[in-house]
Structure 1
Amino acid sequence: MMRYIKLVNFEINRFSKIYLTLLLITVLSQFAGVLIVTKSLINDAKETMLQEKLTEADYLSEYGGIDFTHIANTLWFLGPIALSAVALIFYIFLIWYRDWFGKNTFIYRLLMLPTSRLSLYLSKATAIFLMVLGLIAWQMILLPLENALFNSSVPEAFLNMELSTSSIAAANRVLMLIIPSTFTAFLLSYGTGLMIMSVLFTAIMFERSFRMKGILLGLVYGGVAAMLFLTPVFINNSGVFHFYSIELFGLLLTLGIIVTGLSIWLGSWLLKNRVTV
């Protein structure tokens, strides 16, 4: 167990500089966006009032007020989230391939450690999942602070309403995906992410085991896994049979667990029996 924890800590430390950079970019971009977009919205409102000779009441009646959703839908706010998502998706591949293609082919040392290769496999998956949760926690910390800054920057007359953090998340599709409002949505969202990561890991193990043929095997496995997981959705949308929401959730959760478990088992088996040093 201690070796597994050390491996997780080792993988996190290897990505720490890039990870901290992503956190810094997020806070700088989003806070800058709050200030810049807020000022722009207020200036636009005042310019419109001047050009159309409207009072504050007339403007609000015709155009409405300003709330934090105007900020949450901008590139300033969503850009760092997208950048972090792309970086972590890229790292799913980098976390394996840099060990093979680095200057000293570090994978040889890792595979010869006196520990099970399953621990090596799981440590990489755990490191990525913990970093995902860390980014989400960082966003949840920043969001109320940004909302408070926005509310203090907008004149009361133009402020539509002071939204809560949960209301902001519910009004934005991206935030609703990464900050689910219910435990069921959390399981579905992050369980699906964990399943996709395990499938990609297994596809990488296919490629490392069989090289060019492995690429095709990995693509086929990914397609079969996706078809298996989405079978209840296809059936539900076909009109032949209809599942209740709780039934559909139960089926997706069960199939997600099966696909994830199968992917972990197959990936670790390939790492143990087909990937050699």
Structure 2
Amino acid sequence: MNHFFKLLNFEINRFIKIYASLLAIVIIIQTIGVAVVSNSFVNRANEMMMENRWTQEEFIKSNGKMSFSEFMNSFWFAGPIAIAATALIFYIFLIWYREWYGKNTFIYRLLMLPASRYSIYFAKALAIFLMVLGLVGVQILVLPLENELFKVIVPNALREVLAVKDLIYTNAITMVLIPSTFTQFLLHYSAGLMAVFTLFTAILMERSYRFKGIIFGVLYCAAVLALFSAPLFIAAMLDMGNMLYPMEFLMVEIVLGFIASVCSILIGHQLLTKKVSV
């Protein structure tokens, strides 16, 4: 266990500077976005009231009030999250491939450590998972602050005030990142871990069999996706949309996801132990 936590700490420290930069990008761009979107609305409102000689009540009747959700539905909010998510997806590959490249091939030392290969595998997976949770945690902390900035810029009479909780659960992105129930949290992030394990196994297939491994990896990812999507396809093909109750469908998906994850872990460990060449 001590070896595992050392490996986990090592993996996080290797990416911490880039990770901190990603968090800074999210915070800075979103903060600028709140200011830009809010000021744009206020300026447009002032211009229209001056041109049409409207009162605030007349402007509101014609155009409505501004809600913070307008910012959350803009690129200013979604763009930084997409950048961070893309970087973390890229890091799923980098966390393995960097071991093979550079002046000193680090994979030699990594595989010679007096620790289970499972420790290497799970330390890399947990490092990515913790970074995802960190990104979500920062977003949760920043949202109320951004909402307060919105309130400062937009006059009270021109804004629609919504609780942060209501804002989160009316936005498609935050509904996925910040589920409303613990059960949904487990489902969303378990599916994410399954995807990480699947990609890990595909990467190790490529490292084990090189060109043929690319084909094996792609086929393996397709097989996992087909397995996980099987209940939907079967129901559609048989025209039996109500074949399973929602809870039954959920349980089937959980079982299939668990099977896919276990298979990925076992295959990945076998490749890491027996096949991966350095």
Shared fold (TM-score, shorter chain, > 0.5):
yes
- Correspondences of 1:4-15 after superposition (within 5 Å): 4-15=4-15
| Equivalent position of 2:187 in the other structure | 188
1:109 correspondence with 2:106? no
Q: Distance in 2 between matches of 1:241 and 1:19?
A: 43
Q: Distance in 2 between matches of 1:172 and 1:241?
A: 27
Q: Distance in 2 between matches of 1:215 and 1:153?
A: 52
Q: Distance in 1 between matches of 2:69 and 2:4?
A: 42
User: Over aligned residues, Cα RMSD in angstroms?
Assistant: 1.2
The AA in structure 2 aligned to 1:264 is: I
Shift, 1:52, TM fit: 3.0
Q: Is the 8 A contact 2:207 2:277 kept in 1?
A: no
- Correspondences of 1:122-141 after superposition (within 5 Å): 122-141=122-141
Q: Distance in 2 between matches of 1:15 and 1:94?
A: 10
Shift, 1:54, TM fit: 2.4
Q: Distance in 1 between matches of 2:149 and 2:32?
A: 11
TM-score (norm 1): 0.96
TM-score (norm 2): 0.96
Range with greater deviation from structure 2 (84-93 or 251-260): 251-260
Q: Distance in 2 between matches of 1:107 and 1:39?
A: 52
DSSP-derived class of the 1:249 partner: helix
Gaps of 5+ in 2: none
The AA in structure 2 aligned to 1:274 is: K
| Equivalent position of 1:198 in the other structure | 197
Report the count of equivalent residues: 276
Range with greater deviation from structure 2 (143-152 or 199-208): 143-152
Q: Distance in 1 between matches of 2:236 and 2:166?
A: 30
Shift, 1:128, TM fit: 0.5
Q: Is the 8 A contact 1:201 1:267 kept in 2?
A: yes
| Equivalent position of 1:18 in the other structure | 18
| Equivalent position of 1:168 in the other structure | 167
Q: Deviations over 1:186-240 (max 9, x none)?
A: 1221111111110000000100110000000011111011000111122344422
- Correspondences of 1:145-164 after superposition (within 5 Å): 145-160=145-160, 162-164=161-163
1:264 correspondence with 2:265? yes
DSSP-derived class of the 1:171 partner: coil
The AA in structure 2 aligned to 1:52 is: N
| Equivalent position of 1:94 in the other structure | 94
The AA in structure 2 aligned to 1:257 is: F
Gaps of 5+ in 1: none
1:249 correspondence with 2:250? yes
Q: Percent identity?
A: 49
Shift, 1:241, TM fit: 4.9
Range with greater deviation from structure 2 (59-68 or 236-245): 236-245
Range with greater deviation from structure 2 (125-134 or 54-63): 54-63
